[in-house]
Structure 1
Amino acid sequence: MSDSPALLTLRGASFAYEDGPTVLRDLDFDVPEGRALALLGRNGSGKTTLMRLLSGGLAPRTGRLAVAGEPVRYDRKGLTRLRTTVQLVVQDPDDQLFAASVAQDVSFGPLNLGLTDAEVRARVEEALTALDIAALADRPTHLLSYGQRKRTAIAGAVAMRPRVLILDEPTAGLDPDGQERLLATLDGLRAGGTTVVMATHDVDLALRWSDDAALLTPQGVHTGPTAATLARTDLLHNAGLRLPWGVAVTGLLRAHGLLPDTAPGPRTPEELAAGTPAVPADG
């Protein structure tokens, strides 16, 4: 795991929905500051519950959540403080958008913070620019494409200027070009100091994008550097995930002496084609 300080920490956290089984039990989980973290696991593994615990949408039945070492209080003041630090964007943008226009929707969070009109406008413009949708400010939300609705939902979270942005399957439903544009946007947010957590089923995306990977299994959660973690076939099996393409290719190249053990392997077909490593034409 990273040496970066933990910005969010869950300790001994358990949660069960009313009249349902326990979803998470005695969970310890860290979100290091400044890292890109991929959260992976099979359906029903608790990813959504964990994201809602981290963002304050749910309170743990046992254990505690802390921000920069300070325990979260689940009163109005404590939750307001948490939500200025952590923002969650759900998978379906239609569950998050409700205002008549893009700008109105993005302004909702900052307005609820009691900011001045000038500060709200500045945050909305900043968020729309960051998500490359400034030209859509006055567009009715019901006239947006799916990808535009995704970006608008993320812009609403970014306008809160969170230190941690948690995204539930943000690339789901996007075409390849839309995925690339969104990943470029996330890279820009990370460069600006935002810590990004992404829940995804896509192990190839996790290998390419994240610094660390957290695998939720029936035995608990295992977190570590992405390449090493996603090479653990035992963990992948327990998490209901397949081996990433890049990990499989890297193993094959090393087995044939085409890639030194100390060299990083290709994460995508494009990196392999670019010469990481150079594969003989007859190989």
Structure 2
Amino acid sequence: MKPLVELAGAGYAYEDGPEVLSGVDFAIPEGRALVLLGRNGSGKTTLMRLLSGGLRPGAGALLLDGVEVAYGRAGLTRLRTSVQLVVQDPDDQLFAASVEQDVSFGPMNLGLPEPEVRARVDAALAALDITALRDRPTHLLSYGQRKRAAIAGAVAMAPRVLILDEPTAGLDPDGQQRLLDVLSGLRAAGTTVVMATHDVELAVRWADDAAVLTPAGIRTGPAPVLLSDPELLASAGLRQAWSPAVTAFLRARGLLGSDSPGPRVPEELAGWPAGSGRAGSARGA
């Protein structure tokens, strides 16, 4: 599958500091839910800023649709209409007086006609389920509402790739699920979503693919495979998730076939027939 966005041999070092990333080959394929995991200081934020054009590689290149990105005004505009980054703290991103004004800022800055700006704002507010908040002052929003307003501002740019830095951090379980439902809707509408998180449980539940940042470099692959590797997770300073651990336990005891998917959440175990000795599927199939 041809990647939408790709770093080729990329490296980056902050001024007067050591190299954070070196020789990175990393691609975002279209239509996949991709999760980035790693300990603090592993380079996740740097990687996301390189992918979105906030930083320029000190070595190597960033490619969009196979074409190297130019870092002039035209090149960055082309990149940022395709790739949007939403930072972890919504207060670092929201600045306008009202939700509608904030969400409309990006499309207006592109010089789009007013009817198109209005249509994009309406669609973004609806996608994030905050239409009722359009006139609300941003400083009167709850934390979860501010998170969704910040994401709506990025969605209004109609990006092909949406990169989210710790989007569920600070949200209660209900708020997390509502946000995940929103992301499912965005994916169904054609947006490729990339999420950085420390939450391995969430990553197992949500992602198709994973990229794990370790001191030895970046490992990428299908999320169920990578996130079942205890040694890899330990090298990245991450705990093993419930789902892979339980799946391994069930297979070791003959309760789950080698080709059957394991449970992703505890609730999926509830339907298993007691004493059956083997389950054809942990999903109640």
- TM-score tier by shorter-chain length is over 0.9
Q: State the Cα distance separating 1:281 from its structure 2 match.
A: 9.6
C-alpha distance in structure 2 between counterparts of 1:50 and 1:140, whole Å: 33
Match of 1:187? 184
Match of 2:116? 119
Amino acid at match of 1:91: Q
Match of 2:281? none
Q: State the Cα distance separating 1:90 from its structure 2 match.
A: 0.2
- Among candidates 82, 88, 93, match of residue 90 of structure 2: 93
Trace 1:91-170 onto structure 2 (pairs within 5 A).
91-170=88-167
**Structure 1 stretches of at least 4 aligned residues deviating more than 4 Å after TM superposition:** none
Match of 1:234? 231
Amino acid at match of 2:154: A
Match of 1:196? 193
1:206 aligns with 2:198: no
CA contact under 8 A between 2:53 and 2:79: conserved in structure 1? yes
Q: State the Cα distance separating 1:127 from its structure 2 match.
A: 0.0
CA contact under 8 A between 2:37 and 2:213: conserved in structure 1? yes
Match of 2:283? none
CA contact under 8 A between 1:14 and 1:24: conserved in structure 2? yes
1:259 aligns with 2:259: no
Amino acid at match of 2:18: P
C-alpha distance in structure 1 between counterparts of 2:61 and 2:274, whole Å: 51
Question: Runs of 5+ in structure 2 lacking a partner?
Answer: 279-285
Percentage identity across aligned positions? 71
C-alpha distance in structure 1 between counterparts of 2:230 and 2:81, whole Å: 38
Match of 1:65? 62
1:216 aligns with 2:222: no
Match of 1:21? 18
Match of 2:46? 49
C-alpha distance in structure 1 between counterparts of 2:269 and 2:220, whole Å: 27
C-alpha distance in structure 1 between counterparts of 2:64 and 2:116, whole Å: 25
CA contact under 8 A between 2:254 and 2:277: conserved in structure 1? no
CA contact under 8 A between 1:10 and 1:66: conserved in structure 2? yes
Match of 1:171? 168
C-alpha distance in structure 2 between counterparts of 1:218 and 1:174, whole Å: 29
C-alpha distance in structure 2 between counterparts of 1:57 and 1:279, whole Å: 54
CA contact under 8 A between 2:34 and 2:194: conserved in structure 1? yes
CA contact under 8 A between 1:258 and 1:279: conserved in structure 2? no
TM-score normalized with structure 1 length: 0.96
Helix, strand or coil: the match of 2:81? Answer: helix
TM-score normalized with structure 2 length: 0.95
Q: State the Cα distance separating 1:280 from its structure 2 match.
A: 3.5
Amino acid at match of 2:157: M
Question: Runs of 5+ in structure 1 lacking a partner?
Answer: none
Amino acid at match of 2:110: L
Counterparts in 2 of 1:253 and 1:93: CA distance versus 1, 3 Å: same
Q: Deviations over 1:128-173 (max 9, x none)?
A: 0000000000000000000000000000000000000000000000
Counterparts in 2 of 1:274 and 1:155: CA distance versus 1, 3 Å: farther
C-alpha distance in structure 1 between counterparts of 2:40 and 2:261, whole Å: 31
C-alpha distance in structure 1 between counterparts of 2:125 and 2:8, whole Å: 36
Match of 1:247? 244
Counterparts in 2 of 1:281 and 1:262: CA distance versus 1, 3 Å: closer
Q: State the Cα distance separating 1:273 from its structure 2 match.
A: 2.4
Helix, strand or coil: the match of 1:54? Answer: helix
- Among candidates 266, 271, 274, match of residue 269 of structure 1: 266
Amino acid at match of 1:199: A
CA contact under 8 A between 2:84 and 2:162: conserved in structure 1? yes
Q: State the Cα distance separating 1:5 from its structure 2 match.
A: 2.0
C-alpha distance in structure 2 between counterparts of 1:271 and 1:213, whole Å: 23
RMSD: 1.3
Q: State the Cα distance separating 1:232 from its structure 2 match.
A: 1.3
Counterparts in 2 of 1:279 and 1:50: CA distance versus 1, 3 Å: farther
C-alpha distance in structure 1 between counterparts of 2:138 and 2:274, whole Å: 49
